[in-house]
Structure 1
Amino acid sequence: MNDLAERLATAMRRFAGEGELSALSRLSGGANMESWAFEWSSGGRAAPYVLRRAPSAAYMADRPFGHADEAALVIAARAGGVKAPEVVGVLGDADGLGTGYVMRRVMAEVAPTKILGDPPPSLLADLGRELARIHAIPLATIPPAIPHMDTREALAALKARFFDYGGDRPVIALAIRWCEDHLPAPADPVLVHGDYRMGNVMVDANGLAAVLDWELAHLGDAHEDLAFGCMTVWRFGRLDRPALGLGSLDDYFAAYEAGGGGPVDRDRFRFWLIYRTLWWALGCLQMGEAWRSGADRTVERVVVGRRTAEQELDLVRLLETEAPESERARPLPPSQPAAPAPTGEPTNREMVQAVRDWIEGAIKPHAEGHAKFETVVAMNALGIVLRDLDAGTRAEDRALTDELLSGTATLARPGLLAKLRRAVLDKCAVDSPKYAALAAARAEWRQ
């Protein structure tokens, strides 16, 4: 921490002139990048800033553009009237801080559950208008390194990644095949934020305050951005509010169009809702692979890797409308029986439970900041293991996966939808038992 503070203070003198750094602390969250809050005092006044960084250039090696281009994009967005943070400087090799940039800190709420618990009345309209502004940024002002997404090529890349990760999850195969069969015609490209959702926007009493996290930006179809924040996972339990957990799709689309966005095509929106749910299912698997390969050994990675179950549940709920009514009404097969109660020496389950209880009682009460966040994640990981040891539930089925990818099996096959429903219910109950869509699916499927 002291070394980081000293190096960051040296960089800030280059960005902002003489001053002193204080109150350096790592912010919680951030699935890919580190964020550090601090204050910089100059002329008797202290101002809040945020350092966004990756620990090393190697961490950024497989990304289409680096932090210098990301910072340039944020600057261009702000110049185009978007509520993007103000960038004050980009790190260089000599700073010894990895790659990243420094922004003035926006003092507003970012936690989705807090925002959605009491959102400002204008927020849905704000988000629709702001997305229209992002899509209106002149392409000539966007850094050349920002890539163009060809949907057909991107889907083929997702399919290849699926095979890299085992290629044996039937629900993911079902979604890939559906996307292949429903690929839309190319759209006129706009700047797509790529991660426009609750968790990446800041909100104050007046409404939208800032749009964060531009690392997935690219040129592509505007409907991708419209759909992403409407995924079930990013509505944080507000299942009755399909637009970002805030309201209706009609109101969201109307705000987007009134703000200068193009007409919304509902079929194209549905494609992107399914595509991005598929994309995040594979993104979760990728997190697990990052841990397994040694690229990132944080406990957060293995836990997020198990969130694939959430997306598989959501994909079944999105795609089940393709099945005949007789299949949608078919009862589900039973779950596997629970493991028998232990006797004799302590079982693996009991040993894991003992470690989890120790973390909860001896470690968590004394943890602070990011360490507390990691403690909770570790407890979640052990909770998954406990439930998995009891249930023995697996999601892999290579033979069925191959049939779905080839089109030999469809949701018209008798009993297939019921089998997939049972599989995703049982897997999500192990991996994410508090996921709001799990309770909704149980009710819908009479479980």
Structure 2
Amino acid sequence: MEGLLEAVMHRAGGVDTAANPVTGLQRLSGGANMESWLFACGQDRFVLRRAPSAEWIAARPLNMAGEAELIRRAHAAGVAAPEVIAELAPADDLGIGFIMRCLPGTADPETALSSPPELASDLAKAMARIHALNTRGLDFLPRLDPAEGVEGLARQFAEAGGDRPLIALGLAWLRRNLPPPAEPVVVHGDFRIGNLMVHEERLSGVLDWELAHLGDGHEDLAYGCMAVWRFGRLDRQGFGLTDIETLAHAYQAAGGEAFNPARFRFWLVYRTVWWALGCLSMGQSWRSGTDRSLERVVVARRCAEQELDLLRLLESEAPETERARPLPPAMPESPASTGEPTAAEILTAVSEWLAATVKDKLAGRERWELAVAQNALGIVRRELSARASPADKALAEDLLAGRQSLATPGLLATLRARALSTLSADMPKYPALAAARTLWENR
């Protein structure tokens, strides 16, 4: 692979790769969709960003040529975006993608979330600059209309089985609360902690433009404020760094439009439903053979995170009597086995063996993939023990049709109990789970 990269670097930038060979090639961990490979060429570092397959990229609204072009325009307009060095051609035999100059810093969430308040101001300025990009000549970007987007989510929900009541609850809310179309601007689409490079406690780069489109700038503001992208900073709703009011003020001061709370809330609910369905689609990609990686089936179980977040977002609209209703009695636990080992115990034994004999032999992405495998074993072990099924197609259909709602006696309590059971099995370390359990179980 190094030789192929050297040929691209020579073709694109005239690099003398005999004197400056490609070294240190390594695949970076993380990234639920695209592959990222870090390498050095001489004294400089670069990143190869490429699609996992031609079939996968063909299903995306924005192809990689369009992504590269938008990054170039953003970089030229002063957005902290990477510099695109070269786009891959079929003859390069490296797949579909492009090469960027590596930015200083790290995208590690802990680094960003431990930074001073000035970082939140940097993010607000970056969003304002992205939303101010000239849209002329960007016809290759998809356009997201709120009403069309919601119906697209409804179709995706039906294709995924249409049997998750909490997603149906979110879809029904979105249909009732459609905002008027906004003046379209460039929306990054994945602007969040984890996709933002931080160097010396300030923003150094905006990564992962694959979801960019034309739409409402409030979508970017809301997306980064989702609980899942705050990585445990539940008390700081503004990207895990500050409060919403301070973030909105900084955005407006940087040239962004006036903050609209109703539009912000719509997109917060919309993107939570969107990511819940996005997680489910990972499992469908694995089943279809488009991507048979272990990561796909594990990420699919993260749908439970978004279902719990949806309920926390929407439960305030239930009548007070329903919000105060206690959870239904829990099912009694099965007695512990004293005979042959159960399936759950066998899975525990496998996980312990992997940690004791394999973990120290791995590094980089392989070590990260081992952690994914152990997570997968844990999901199955907990499902065997206590997970209630989150599927209920009849209830989902009732919620979509308006025959039931959060005003239905006992429904909110039932949904809370199901969300706690599902997430406790699927992703028990999700920070919002502990907060929800404390709030809901002490009634």
Q: Considering the TM-score relative to the shorter chain, is it more than 0.5?
A: yes
Q: What CA deviation, in whole Å up to 9, does each residue of 1:43-77 have, x standing for no partner? A: xxx11111001143222110112111111000001
Partners in 2 of 1:372 and 1:336 — Cα distance? 37
Q: In 1, are the aligned partners of 2:55 and 2:290 still within 8 Å (CA)?
A: no
CA 1:332–1:358 in structure 2 vs 1: closer, same or farther (change >3 Å)? same
Q: Which moved more, 1:205-214 or 1:342-351?
A: 342-351
Confirm or deny that 1:387 pairs with 2:382: yes
Aligned sequence identity (%)? 53
TM-superposed deviation, 1:237: 0.1
Partners in 1 of 2:333 and 2:133 — Cα distance? 55
Structural mapping, 1:21-40, within 5 Å: 21-40=22-41
Structural mapping, 1:19-58, within 5 Å: 19=17, 20-41=21-42, 46-58=43-55
TM-superposed deviation, 1:196: 0.5
Q: In 2, are the aligned partners of 1:76 and 1:141 still within 8 Å (CA)?
A: no
TM-superposed deviation, 1:333: 0.7
1:310 to 305, 310, 332: 305
Confirm or deny that 1:162 pairs with 2:132: no
Partners in 2 of 1:392 and 1:232 — Cα distance? 23
Confirm or deny that 1:120 pairs with 2:120: no
2:131 to 110, 128, 135: 135
Confirm or deny that 1:88 pairs with 2:77: no
* Counterpart residue type for residue 140 of structure 1: R
Residue of structure 1 equivalent to 2:248 = 253
TM-superposed deviation, 1:349: 1.4
TM-superposed deviation, 1:344: 3.2
* Counterpart residue type for residue 139 of structure 1: T
Gaps of 5+ in 1: none
Residue of structure 1 equivalent to 2:95 = 98
Partners in 2 of 1:339 and 1:285 — Cα distance? 30
Large movers: runs of 4+ above 6 Å: none
Q: In 2, are the aligned partners of 1:74 and 1:87 still within 8 Å (CA)?
A: yes
Confirm or deny that 1:111 pairs with 2:112: no
Structural mapping, 1:288-327, within 5 Å: 288-327=283-322
Partners in 1 of 2:227 and 2:201 — Cα distance? 26
TM-score, length of structure 1 as denominator length: 0.96
CA 1:431–1:398 in structure 2 vs 1: closer, same or farther (change >3 Å)? same
TM-superposed deviation, 1:131: 0.3
Residue of structure 2 equivalent to 1:188 = 183
Partners in 2 of 1:358 and 1:141 — Cα distance? 56
* Counterpart residue type for residue 207 of structure 2: L
TM-superposed deviation, 1:164: 1.0
TM-superposed deviation, 1:293: 1.5
Residue of structure 2 equivalent to 1:197 = 192
Q: In 1, are the aligned partners of 2:38 and 2:45 still within 8 Å (CA)?
A: yes
* Counterpart residue type for residue 313 of structure 2: L
Q: In 1, are the aligned partners of 2:62 and 2:212 still within 8 Å (CA)?
A: no
Q: Which moved more, 1:25-34 or 1:57-66?
A: 57-66
* Counterpart residue type for residue 354 of structure 1: A
1:342 to 331, 337, 355: 337
Partners in 2 of 1:80 and 1:342 — Cα distance? 65
Partners in 2 of 1:206 and 1:363 — Cα distance? 36
1:436 to 424, 431, 434: 431
TM-superposed deviation, 1:206: 4.7
Q: In 2, are the aligned partners of 1:53 and 1:99 still within 8 Å (CA)?
A: yes
Q: What CA deviation, in whole Å up to 9, does each residue of 1:61-102 have, x standing for no partner? A: 101121111110000011111000001110001001110000
TM-superposed deviation, 1:353: 1.5
TM-superposed deviation, 1:362: 1.2
* Counterpart residue type for residue 131 of structure 1: M
Q: In 1, are the aligned partners of 2:117 and 2:241 still within 8 Å (CA)?
A: no
Residue of structure 2 equivalent to 1:271 = 266
Residue of structure 2 equivalent to 1:70 = 67
TM-superposed deviation, 1:339: 2.9
Give 3-state SS (helix, strand or coil) of 1:342's partner.
Answer: coil
TM-superposed deviation, 1:210: 0.3
Partners in 2 of 1:317 and 1:236 — Cα distance? 16
Partners in 1 of 2:45 and 2:227 — Cα distance? 34
Residue of structure 2 equivalent to 1:60 = 57
TM-score, length of structure 2 as denominator length: 0.97
Residue of structure 1 equivalent to 2:418 = 423
Structural mapping, 1:176-255, within 5 Å: 176-255=171-250
Partners in 1 of 2:143 and 2:267 — Cα distance? 16
CA RMSD of aligned residues (A): 1.1
Gaps of 5+ in 2: none
Q: In 2, are the aligned partners of 1:56 and 1:97 still within 8 Å (CA)?
A: no
